[in-house]
Structure 1
């Protein structure tokens, strides 16, 4: 979840309660194209049984990848799993029976980048959130 690195880094510095931080990386994308197969580049390497898990990601677009990750992590029997995203893209193409628990801001259905989200693999590092003009897509 490369996109979650910047939002997670910014959020975690604000948390004042005792917690552990770990990285996971799963994707459905190959050559910038979505697929139906979830591939783990880095699985959790800590015991999740009876732990409270907060997944932090950049954007809740269709939710296919995030839902698949949650389903995989449920096998580990955590006490709870919550999902936090910086952006929620507003449209009706989201997966059924799955919602995120915490949303920073809702955005229109536009191609957005920056603050963890990429533009063709680049520009994740930008400190702001930018959108491509609708006539440039």
Structure 2
């Protein structure tokens, strides 16, 4: 794959290779396997962006687990709207269970704050967060992120589950928007 691509008149440059992504996913997997050795985890993946990260994560988890998905959104195009809408709910009972939310990215924390509140209201015993990408300079949340794959500066990204108006999630690497 080229190091630069053009998407809808915008230039993106590869910022994280597929190999680097997999190395960081493995590190997160190792941390979860260590922390939950002998345990039982309920993963909750956030659609649509986290599906690739969730798949790579779960196929390497060695403790008992299952996964369900919720769909929420706070984006339109390349910017956040600030509004979170739950579109699909949980199908499994999480009361009294250890839950790990699997998310592709946390920028402001708006989406995650709402998901945390929802899962705590459903009676989860514990709720932790595993994300692939964290952008600390835009984070406004008041919660702990337990498992972080990659820290990145503020930029719009595509690839490995990240999209631009629904497209380019399938790219194996992560590309950052090149500002003019």
CA positional deviation for 1:28: 2.7
Which residue is equivalent to 2:133? 87
Structure 2: which 5+ runs fail to align?
A: 1-46
The counterpart of 1:43, out of the listed 69, 84, 89, is 89
Instruction: Please say if 1:25 is aligned against 2:71.
Output: yes
CA positional deviation for 1:95: 2.1
Distance in 2, Cα, partners of 1:36 & 1:107? 21
Deviation larger for 94-103 or 13-22: 94-103
1:89-132 CA-to-partner distances (Å, cap 9, x unmatched) read 131x3224123111001011111111111122210111111111
- Match runs of 1:54-73 below 5 Å: 54-73=100-119
Distance in 1, Cα, partners of 2:99 & 2:109? 18
Using CA pairs under 8 Å that are at least 6 residues apart, name the structure with larger relative contact order, 1 or 2: 2
Residues 2 and 109 from structure 1, CA distance in 2 versus in 1: closer, same or farther, beyond 3 angstroms? same
Determine if contact 1:26/1:43 at 8 Å carries over to the other structure: no
Aligned length: 133
Which residue is equivalent to 2:43? none
Which residue is equivalent to 1:132? 177
Structure 1: which 5+ runs fail to align?
A: none
The counterpart of 1:105, out of the listed 137, 145, 150, is 150
The counterpart of 1:7, out of the listed 50, 53, 57, is 53
Distance in 2, Cα, partners of 1:53 & 1:99? 14
CA positional deviation for 1:24: 1.2
Give the ranges of 4+ consecutive aligned residues of structure 1 lying more than 6 Å apart after TM superposition.
none
Distance in 2, Cα, partners of 1:107 & 1:39? 26
1:27-73 CA-to-partner distances (Å, cap 9, x unmatched) read 233x4353344322110011110011111111111110011111111
Cα RMSD (Å): 1.5
Q: For residue 91 of structure 2, give the secondary structure of its aligned residue in structure 1.
A: coil
